[in-house]
Amino acid sequence: MTATATRVLVLNSGSSSVKYQLLDMNPDSGGGPAAGTRLAVGLVERIGEETSLLAHTPLATGGDKRETEGPIADHEAALKAVAAELSADGLGLDSPQLAAIGHRVVHGGLKFTAPTVIGDAVLAEIERLVPVAPLHNPANITGIRTAQALRPDLPQVAVFDTAFHTTMPEYAARYAIDVATADAHRIRRYGFHGTSHAYVSRKTAELLGKDPSEVNVIVLHLGNGASASAVAGGRCVDTSMGLTPLEGLVMGTRSGDIDPAVTFHLKRVAGMSEDDVDVLLNKKSGLVGLCGDNDMREIRRRIDEGDERAELAFDIYIHRLKKYIGAYTAVLGRVDAVAFTAGVGENAAPVRAAALAGLEEMGLAVDADLNAARSGEPRLISPEYARVAAAVVPTDEELEIAQQTYALVSA
């Protein structure tokens, strides 16, 4: 890395998509983690189809979003197309200013507790974890290999969704099943969205004017996927997702917690296959299964029109959230803040109000005006008298990945 290399490209590779951001980490901009200026953001969708779409916004030049439609055969072609877009703005991947590429990797198992420079052994371990993350890790690996081929000289860093949760005590991480079976198949609770939970819990401490080590926070990451975590003094002590992202809260299309016997029942009585059950619980359940919509805006609109199915779906979603807030209050003993984040958490005031309604005995309350105000900044929504702060803290997983990547390669 040269002295002028301050840029980080963040890649989030899915099975048929690549999201990317190029950030300048401005190391001279003051203390603390580098603030990060976004130079370009974009997305390649429907890789492998005739109608792939590349949407690129060159923020550095103030240019408009450029959209290109046409077949992009695979991840290699996608990354080459992204590189060409960046080059057109003078931000090419061949630039000596590029310090590293940071990859979001969904499953890091127990080995990876921190961001890691990717070498052959690291890649082999990420591959070894494919059986516990069959939907995500293969796409992440493809993204890494493609980026390595494009810039073999550059450090490639893996930032794991599971890393923040590796501090969970054994009694929170283990399922109460036969230990030998669990260990033979690496069955335990790993948790996901860790980059977001880490970022948001730290930002919440900042909002309270405290060091992360001084505060206990319940983070509610409510996006299309959703998870809760209990963070004590900056360390995760429990989280709602488990072996896979299926466990926990009601999500856009996932059921969250369910009696595992439902799956036997579906196979024995309803004649469904393993794959049918997988699709049912991951893609056709949650809000979409309950009412046909997974967008909270649409669900609220339907409730306003008196739609009972939408209302029941909302109530089930809120009931589960409340159970986790209660459980994590008990786990933490003392809670300083409940922080809402991600698409629903940041935008849906009715969800925040309903999730905390009736919890005054637990020190929680929502100020209606503060809750209704819209802002992209971290903010409190609780009245001053509330013993536990309620906050909206926008997440920024790409910035967190860039910061972790840059901190590692510039150390």
Cα angle value 392/341/314 (rounded, 5°):
100
Q: Which is nearer to ligand AMP, 224 or 410 (CB)?
A: 224
The distance of closest approach from Cβ of residue 129 to ligand AMP in the complex, given in angstroms and rounded to an integer, is: 23
Which span sits near ligand AMP by CB under 6 A: 88-96, 104-112, 173-181, 344-352?
344-352
What's CA 200's distance to the chain center, in Å?
11
47 binds ligand AMP (CB under 6 A): no
Could you tell me if 142 and 73 are in contact, meaning their C-beta atoms sit under 8 angstroms apart? no
337 binds ligand AMP (CB under 6 A): no
Of 161, 307, 336, 396, the catalytic one is 161
310 binds ligand AMP (CB under 6 A): no
- 392 three-class SS: strand
Among 206, 295, 311, 367, binds ligand AMP (CB under 6 A): 295
- 159 three-class SS: strand
294 binds ligand AMP (CB under 6 A): yes
344 binds ligand AMP (CB under 6 A): yes
Instruction: Tell whether residue 189 is among the known ligand binding residues.
Output: no
Instruction: Tell whether residue 301 is among the known ligand binding residues.
Output: no
User: CA 86, CA 91: separation in Å to the nearest integer?
Assistant: 5
Q: Which is nearer to ligand AMP, 147 or 220 (CB)?
A: 220
Which span sits near ligand AMP by CB under 6 A: 21-29, 211-219, 289-297, 352-360?
289-297
Instruction: Tell whether residue 222 is among the known ligand binding residues.
Output: yes
Tell me the residue nearest to ligand AMP as measured from the CB: 343
Among 297, 319, 334, 387, binds ligand AMP (CB under 6 A): 297
Phi, psi of 385 (to 5 degrees): -75, -15
Instruction: Tell whether residue 216 is among the known ligand binding residues.
Output: no
User: CA 95, CA 92: separation in Å to the nearest integer?
Assistant: 6
User: CA 193, CA 251: separation in Å to the nearest integer?
Assistant: 13
In sequence order, the 6+-apart residues with CB closer than 8 A to the CB of 147 are 9, 11, 79, 101, 103, 156
User: CA 323, CA 317: separation in Å to the nearest integer?
Assistant: 10
Helix 261-268 vs helix 274-283: crossing angle, to nearest 10: 130
282 binds ligand AMP (CB under 6 A): no
Among 97, 113, 167, 224, binds ligand AMP (CB under 6 A): 224
The distance of closest approach from Cβ of residue 339 to ligand AMP in the complex, given in angstroms and rounded to an integer, is: 14
User: CA 321, CA 133: separation in Å to the nearest integer?
Assistant: 25
Give every strand in the sheet of 379-380, ordered side by side: 235-239, 226-232, 216-222, 337-341, 389-392, 379-380
Instruction: Tell whether residue 343 is among the known ligand binding residues.
Output: yes
In sequence order, the 6+-apart residues with CB closer than 8 A to the CB of 91 are 7, 22, 39, 40, 58, 60
Per CB under 6 A, contacts with ligand AMP among 146-185 are none
Residue 161 among the catalytic residues = yes
252 binds ligand AMP (CB under 6 A): yes
The distance of closest approach from Cβ of residue 297 to ligand AMP in the complex, given in angstroms and rounded to an integer, is: 4
Per the rule left: phi > 0, alpha: psi between -120 and 50, beta: everything else, 306 is: left
Among 296, 313, 389, 392, binds ligand AMP (CB under 6 A): 296
Among 208, 251, 348, 365, binds ligand AMP (CB under 6 A): 348
220 binds ligand AMP (CB under 6 A): no
- Give the annotated binding-site residues: 12, 19, 104, 221-225, 295-297, 343-347, 397
- Give the annotated binding-site residues for substrate: 104
Task: List interacting residues with ligand AMP (CB under 6 A).
Answer: 223-224, 252, 294-297, 342-344, 347-348
Positions marked catalytic: 161
- Give the annotated binding-site residues for ATP: 19, 221-225, 295-297, 343-347
